[in-house]
Amino acid sequence: MLFSAVQLRTVFPMLFDFDSAIAVRPLGDGVYDTAIRNGWDIMGNANGGYLLALVAEAMKAESGRRDPITITAHYLSPGLVGDATTTVKVVKQGRRFATVQAALQRDGKDVMRVIGTFGDVDTDALHPRVSLTQPEMPAYDNCPRRDSGDGAPAIMDKVPVRLHPDDVGFAIGKPSGRGIMRGWVQFADERPHDTVSLLLASDALPPPIFNIDGETGWVPTVELTVHVFARPSPGPLLCSFSSHIVQAGMLEEDGTMWDSRGVCVATSRQIALQPRV
Amino acid sequence: MLFSAVQLRTVFPMLFDFDSAIAVRPLGDGVYDTAIRNGWDIMGNANGGYLLALVAEAMKAESGRRDPITITAHYLSPGLVGDATTTVKVVKQGRRFATVQAALQRDGKDVMRVIGTFGDVDTDALHPRVSLTQPEMPAYDNCPRRDSGDGAPAIMDKVPVRLHPDDVGFAIGKPSGRGIMRGWVQFADERPHDTVSLLLASDALPPPIFNIDGETGWVPTVELTVHVFARPSPGPLLCSFSSHIVQAGMLEEDGTMWDSRGVCVATSRQIALQPRV
């Protein structure tokens, strides 16, 4: 009897790269081993969405809840690959929600401080009153794959995003002039998305400012907040990010994430610094 | 020689109601007396924006910085009027920013947990690249004043918001059917806005869900994040809030705040529970 890689990994989830990369181990007293794994970085610094997912796993474990509902991270120093611990404190364990704080530290130095409210998101994902509309997007197979060749970030091997053909101009010096970046986000090993991988997705695309006037480089996130509304159905996520305000060296970035049913499963917003070359 | 109330209060800022209401007193070791003052409540519970401004004053004092840049509060229990303290910890004091955590407690119980990055916002408030457009809004004097009569919240005496005539229908059982609430936010004593009063403004209007289908009642905020982009110029703030997603008993609310120059000085986003009557 033969099994596909996806079938096998459904039974043995740690076979998926992302699950190995966000695995956490309790050390007691709310402290977790949250080593920062290799391959989820951009120029040596772990991706902010990956770090948020890693810390959220420890927060989930400590709170005993299934899903992040709203989670905010402040980024204090780069997350280099290697040993790291997260100290988690459940501030309030309520009936419906748990409020949780966490600090990710590496070599005794703060990498992130995080606060989140955890609980159960709606399983049925019904959206009786949603006035957002799904972004226009060509089918997955019709979007160019962006991979880690040509100086693209290492994380692109793990999550080879497929950008909207109208939004790829920045990569060849022809930015669209609009602060928009749309793409399909799917793991290379086709791990199904869940409410934790939405945190990764919230920071997985190139920043939309790359398309405003062609500025590129490292865009350090100051703060990232993600709101989770539903568990995603299987398949690639449609993600759309926009920057509306760029001033005084800072920018904001707004995101929406849609599953294969067309449900808006999460939104995100971040404050970042303008690109540093 | 005669002085207007505004002139006097510019010299003696504590004469403004809001400054008295958010005054904090250091008790040592990062603990501040942050008594929750009377008159800033909705059915006995202090307004979430007022509480955020109060805690931000303590965070500002402890960090030595002038402005909140990005600040997030999780609300754990109602903030009743009376004695309260805030414990503040500066997590990182950097060159450009300070990252600060705070806990507001009353009778030994957590009311709020807050994390913020503080610094100096752009004084010139230039927006070289802003793609947001200011909401359509009739002049201040042409908008109906909403005050504290007829069961409206007590805070309306301190901040008598003037709503867009198209958005007041909920109050007479004729909701517009759209999840939008626009209004002018100005203090009754004409205190000029600053970056801390923007935090109050971010939660000062009736929730836009009131206009979706006429549901009203208490809408408890779970989490509120405000991003500050510029110091506001004098005069009323134009504020616009929208709810795009309402599901499974929860809703999100997005806000933009504009000063008299037409500058987008802040944005906000919150997750709240659906109205409880």
Q: What single-letter amino acid sits at B105?
A: Q
Kindly determine whether residue A117 and residue B74, on different chains, have CB atoms separated by under 8 Å. Answer: yes
By Cβ distance, the residue of A110, A128, A269 closest to B269 is A269
User: Best interface-test mutation with B: which of A59, A71, A72, A109 has the largest number of B CBs within 10 A?
Assistant: A72
What confidence tier does B192 reach under pLDDT thresholds 50, 70, 90?
very high
Convert the pLDDT of each residue in B28-74 to its tens digit. Answer: 999 999 999 999 988 788 999 999 999 999 999 999 999 999 999 99
Using CA atoms, how far residue B269 sits from A34, B42, B213, in Å, is 30, 20, 21
What confidence tier does B131 reach under pLDDT thresholds 50, 70, 90?
confident
Render A24-79 in DSSP notation, one character per residue. Answer: -EEEETTEEE--B-TT-EETTEEPHHHHHHHHHHHHHHHHT-SEEEEEEEEE-S--
Under DSSP, the state recorded for B7 is H
Convert the pLDDT of each residue in B134-176 to its tens digit. Answer: 999 999 999 987 665 566 678 888 999 999 999 999 988 999 9
Mean pLDDT for the stretch of residues A166-194? 94
By Cβ distance, the residue of A69, A110, A225 closest to B72 is A225
pTM for this model (two decimals): 0.94
CA distance A100 to chain B (A): 10
Which residue is closest to B246 within chain A, CA to CA?
A: A129
Kindly determine whether residue A269 and residue B115, on different chains, have CB atoms separated by under 8 Å. Answer: no
Kindly determine whether residue B99 and residue A74, on different chains, have CB atoms separated by under 8 Å. Answer: yes
Q: Which of A114, A120, A145, A121 is nearest to A48 (CA)?
A: A114
Per the CB < 8 A criterion, the answer to whether A202 and A266 are in contact is yes
Kindly determine whether residue B110 and residue A97, on different chains, have CB atoms separated by under 8 Å. Answer: no
- Judged by DSSP in three states, B56 sits in helix
What confidence tier does A42 reach under pLDDT thresholds 50, 70, 90?
confident
Burial of A142-157, coded b for 16+ CB within 10 Å and e otherwise, reads: ebeebeeeeebbbbbe
Beta carbon pairs, A and B, within 8 Å: 137
- Judged by DSSP in three states, B18 sits in helix
* Residue carrying structure tokens 């008299």: B260
Burial degree of B118 (CB within 10 A; 0-12, 13-18, 19+): buried
Kindly determine whether residue B110 and residue A91, on different chains, have CB atoms separated by under 8 Å. Answer: yes
Mean pLDDT for the stretch of residues B212-240? 92
Signed CA dihedral, B189, B193, B197, B201: sign only: positive
Kindly determine whether residue B248 and residue A122, on different chains, have CB atoms separated by under 8 Å. Answer: yes
- The strand pairing partners of B90, in sequence order, are B100
Which residue is closest to B266 within chain A, CA to CA?
A: A245
Q: Which residues of A touch B101 (CB under 8 A)?
A: 101, 113
Which residue is closest to B228 within chain A, CA to CA?
A: A271
More confident of the two residues A127 and A249: A249
**What's residue B11's pLDDT?**
64
What is the distance between the alpha carbons of residues A8 and A156, in angstroms, rounded to a whole number?
A: 23
* Residue carrying structure tokens 């509902």: A69
Kindly determine whether residue A248 and residue B99, on different chains, have CB atoms separated by under 8 Å. Answer: no
Kindly determine whether residue A132 and residue B244, on different chains, have CB atoms separated by under 8 Å. Answer: yes
Convert the pLDDT of each residue in A3-13 to its tens digit. Answer: 565 565 566 66
For the ranges A1-15, A53-67, B237-251, which has the lowest average pLDDT?
Answer: A1-15
CA distance A78 to chain B (A): 14
**What's residue A10's pLDDT?**
61
- Output the six-digit token pair for B199: 């935090």
Q: What share of chain B is helix, strand, coil (3-state, %, to 5)?
A: 20, 35, 45
Kindly determine whether residue B128 and residue A91, on different chains, have CB atoms separated by under 8 Å. Answer: no
By Cβ distance, the residue of A94, A115, A247 closest to B128 is A247
What is the distance between the alpha carbons of residues A186 and A234, in angstroms, rounded to a whole number?
A: 10
For the ranges A44-53, B186-195, B211-220, which has the lowest average pLDDT?
Answer: B211-220
Kindly determine whether residue B245 and residue A222, on different chains, have CB atoms separated by under 8 Å. Answer: no
Per the CB < 8 A criterion, the answer to whether B47 and B148 are in contact is no
Kindly determine whether residue B117 and residue A70, on different chains, have CB atoms separated by under 8 Å. Answer: no
More confident of the two residues B155 and B193: B193
Mean pLDDT for the stretch of residues B191-206? 97
The number of helix segments (H) and strand segments (E) in chain A equals 6, 16
What confidence tier does B118 reach under pLDDT thresholds 50, 70, 90?
very high
* First and final C-alpha spacing in chain B: 52
Q: What are phi and psi of A71, to 5 degrees?
A: -140, 135
* Residue carrying structure tokens 């970056």: B195
Kindly determine whether residue A97 and residue B230, on different chains, have CB atoms separated by under 8 Å. Answer: no
What is the distance between the alpha carbons of residues A256 and A134, in angstroms, rounded to a whole number?
A: 9
Per the CB < 8 A criterion, the answer to whether B95 and A72 are in contact is no
Which residue is closest to A209 within chain B, CA to CA?
A: B129
Q: Is the ipTM of this complex over 0.85?
A: yes
Kindly determine whether residue A222 and residue B97, on different chains, have CB atoms separated by under 8 Å. Answer: yes
pLDDT at B17 > cutoff 80: yes
By Cβ distance, the residue of B97, B113, B271 closest to A91 is B113
Under DSSP, the state recorded for A108 is T
- Residue B76: which residues within 8 A CB-CB, separation 6 or more? A91, A92, A94, A99, B109, B110, B111, B112, B113
Q: pLDDT > 70: what percent of chain A?
A: 89
Which residues on chain B place their C-beta less than 8 Å from a C-beta of chain A?
69-70, 72, 74, 76, 91-92, 97, 99, 101, 103, 110, 113, 115, 117, 121-122, 126-132, 179, 212, 222-223, 225, 227, 229-230, 242-248, 250, 252, 264, 267, 269, 271
